[in-house]
Amino acid sequence: MTNSAAQPPQHSTATAYWTVGPEKGELRREDLPGPGPGEALVRTLFSGISKGTELVVHNARVPECVAEEMAAPNQEGSFPSPVKFGYLSVGVVEDGPADWLGKTVFCLYPHQDRYIVPTESLTDVPEDVPARRAVLTGTVETAINGIWEAGPRLGDRVAVIGAGLVGGMVAKLLSTFPLSRLQLVDVDPAKRAFAETLGVEFSHPDDALPDCDIVIHCSASQEGLARALQLAGDDGDVIEMSWYADRNVTVPLGEDFHARRLSIRASQVGVVARARRHRRTNADRLELAVSLLRDSGFDAFLTGASSLKDLPGVVQQLSDGTLDALCHVIEYPATTEATR
């Protein structure tokens, strides 16, 4: 059953962000039909820029061999361009099945002010989770998957290398575990204040404590991966959460790698970690992620905001380093009215 009163026009338009070439993005108008059976019309309140992956797309660095696997759930177009890419969107259901009307929802959808999706693509945002904070749902989901892959145990010694969005999120979640030691490791001393905000011990790589049971690597640098192998104790696990795109990375598999029986395991959010794959769906993982965002401590990851009209310039600023951010939030024209 769909809403029969005050429905928007059955055919209207939407504004979306497209990557149209290397280091070039633009806003495009496109037709937006009315929702069909089992579909919802969502008006966007906020979207978030997932800097690591989105800048790989912006710079046309998605390797052809994984282009299909790296496609976002609601992506249009194909790599390298033109492509409509993104996956951190929060909005309000304006039309569709009656049981979804008026709900605030998270969706793995690109940056677009209004869109149509099947309701099965939506995750209901709890009333006590602010819509702005809910854009982090997809990143929390990534961190959950990495932790499921790592499988930390009571009293473990854990290091997380790379205090960016994903590394910080992993450390934030692990801070609630009964570990004997947890360090967030980064070369930038300015990250110490961020770690303190999260309630996590900070360390420079040179000072990080060795003999870890688990090292989770998120720095996307070969130096960070090499240090992860050094910090892992004998028979220890390194969980690789960085994506290097088209870059070649040298891994020191000589030295004592074999003698100490170290392991490197990949973690990628496209599928549920193997330790939970038979008992959890992607939807279950998203529901868990958004429920964890009741904690206001996650606001530390929201480090700036811009309007939709400024999005092409913001992406370029993030790319060239003139704008620094963990998760930069994009605000949509109706946001103020909707959240008042």
Residue boundaries of the structural domains of the chain: 11-126+294-339, 146-266
**Is 294 within 8 Å of 126 (Cβ atoms)?**
yes
d(CA 31, CA 258): 57
Task: Tell which residue, 45, 35, 196, has the closest CA to residue 118.
Answer: 35
At 236-264, the pLDDT tens digits run: 999 999 999 999 999 999 999 999 999 99
3-state SS, 46-110, equals EEEEEHHHHHHHHCCCCCHHHCCCCCCCCCEECCCCCEECCCCEEEEEEECEHHHCCCEEEECCC
Residue type at position 39: E
Task: Tell which residue, 227, 229, 167, 219, has the closest CA to residue 198.
Answer: 167
d(CA 221, CA 208): 17
At 62-119, the pLDDT tens digits run: 999 999 999 999 999 999 999 999 999 999 999 999 999 999 999 999 999 999 999 9
Q: What is the mean pLDDT of the chain?
A: 94
With a CB cutoff of 8 Å and minimum separation 6, the contacts of 279 are none
pTM of the model: 0.93
At 54-74, the pLDDT tens digits run: 999 999 999 999 999 999 999
Beta strand pairing call for 114-118 and 39-50:
antiparallel
d(CA 281, CA 267): 16
- Write down the CATH superfamily of domain 146-266: NAD(P)-binding Rossmann-like Domain (3.40.50.720)
CATH topology of domain 11-126+294-339: Quinone Oxidoreductase; Chain A, domain 1 (3.90.180)
Looking at residue 264, its pLDDT comes to 97
Looking at residue 334, its pLDDT comes to 66
